Structure 1
Amino acid sequence: MARGVASTSSSASSSSCSSMRTTTGGRSNTRSIASRRWNEKERQSFVDRRRNNAATSLAAIAEPGTEGYVENETEITFPFVKIVDQEELKLCLIMNVIDPAIGGVLIMGDRGTAKSVAVRSLIQLLPEIDVVKGDVFNSSPTDPQLMGPDVREKFQKGEALETAKMRVPMVEVPLGTTEDRICGTIDIEKALSEGRKAYDPGLLAKANRGLLYIDEVNLLDDSLVDVVLDSAAGGWNTVEREGISLSHPAKFIMIGSGNPEEGELRPQLLDRFGMKVSVATVYDVDKRTDLVMNKIKFDEDPKAYQAECADETEALRARIQKARDILPSVTISRDIQLKISSVCALVDVDGLRGDIVVTRAAKAYVAYEGRNEVTQDDVEKVIGPCLSHRLRKNVTDTMDGGFKVKLGFNKIFKGDAMDFTQDSKIMAEIIEEGVKEPEPEKKEEPEEPKEKPKPKAGAWDPSKMFGRGR
Structure 2
Amino acid sequence: MTLSSPLNNHRTVFPFTAIIGQDEMKLALMLNIIDPKIGGVMIMGDRGTGKSTTIRALADLLPEIEVVENDPFNSHPTDLDLMGDNARKTLEENGSLITIPQKVTMVDLPLGATEDRVCGTIDIEKALSEGVKAFEPGLLAKANRGILYVDEVNLLDDHLVDVLLDSAASGWNTVEREGISIRHPARFVLVGSGNPEEGELRPQLLDRFGMHAEIRTVKDPSLRVDIVEQRTQFDSEPQKFYETYQNEQEKLQETLVKAQNLLPLVDIERDLQVKISQVCSELDVDGLRGDIVVNRASKALAALEKRKSVTVEDISSIITLCLRHRLRKDPLETIDSGYKVKKVFNQIFGLEIEEN
In the alignment, which of 185, 201, 221 is matched to residue 249 of structure 1? 185
> Conserved in 2, the CA contact under 8 Å of 1:211 and 1:253?
yes
Aligned residues between the structures: 347
Distance 2:200 2:46 in 1: 13
Letter in 1 for 2:298: A
Q: Residue 351 of structure 1 aligns with which residue?
A: 287
AA matched with 2:60: Q
Contact 1:124 1:313 in 2 (8 A): no
Equivalent residue, structure 1, for 2:225: 289
From 295, 301, 308, the equivalent of 2:244 is: 308
Q: 1:197 to 1:327 in 2, by over 3 A?
A: closer
Instruction: Name the TM-score, length of structure 1 as normaliser.
Output: 0.70
1:222 and 2:222 aligned = no
- Quote the residue 1:87 is aligned against: 23
Residue 18 (structure 2) pairs with residue 77 (structure 1): no
Instruction: Please give the root-mean-square deviation of Cα atoms over the aligned residues, in Å.
Output: 2.2
Match status 1:332 vs 2:264: no
Question: Structure 1 regions of 5+ residues with no counterpart?
Answer: 1-70, 421-426, 431-470
SS in 2 for 1:278: strand
Shift of 1:127: 3.1
- The whole-number CA distance in structure 2 between the counterparts of 1:218 and 1:414 is 37
Following the alignment from structure 1 to structure 2, what is the Cα–Cα distance between the partners of residues 233 and 117?
25
* Structure 2: distance between partners of 1:411 and 1:249: 43
**In 2, Cα distance between the equivalents of 1:305 and 1:221?**
39
Counterpart among 334, 341, 345 of residue 405 in structure 1: 341
User: 5 Å matches for 1:63-462?
Assistant: 75-157=11-93, 159-186=95-122, 198-241=134-177, 244-414=180-350, 419-420=352-353, 428=355, 430=356
Q: Which moved more, 1:346-355 or 1:396-405?
A: 396-405
How far apart, in 1, do the equivalents of 2:22 and 2:267 lie?
29
CA distance in 2, matches of 1:410, 1:247: 45
Post-superposition offset of 1:355:
0.6
Please identify the structure whose Cα radius of gyration is greater: 1
Q: Deviation of residue 243 (structure 1)?
A: 6.0
How far off its partner does 1:146 sit?
1.3
Distance 1:113 1:233 in 2: 28
Secondary structure of the residue that 1:389 maps to in structure 2? Answer: helix
Q: Which of the two has greater helix per residue?
A: 2
Whether the aligned pair in 2 keeps the contact of 1:133 and 1:163 (CA below 8 Å) is yes
CA separation in 1, counterparts of 2:125 and 2:17? Answer: 44
Could you give the per-residue CA deviations for residues 284-328 of structure 1, whole angstroms, max 9, x where no partner exists?
111111100000001101112111211111111111111112111
Shift of residue 188 of structure 1? 10
TM-aligned CA distance change 1:240 to 1:188, over 3 Å: closer
Cα deviation, 1:244-299, whole Å, max 9, x if unaligned, reads 42111111111000000011101122111111011011011111111000000011
Deviation at 1:150, TM superposition (A): 0.9
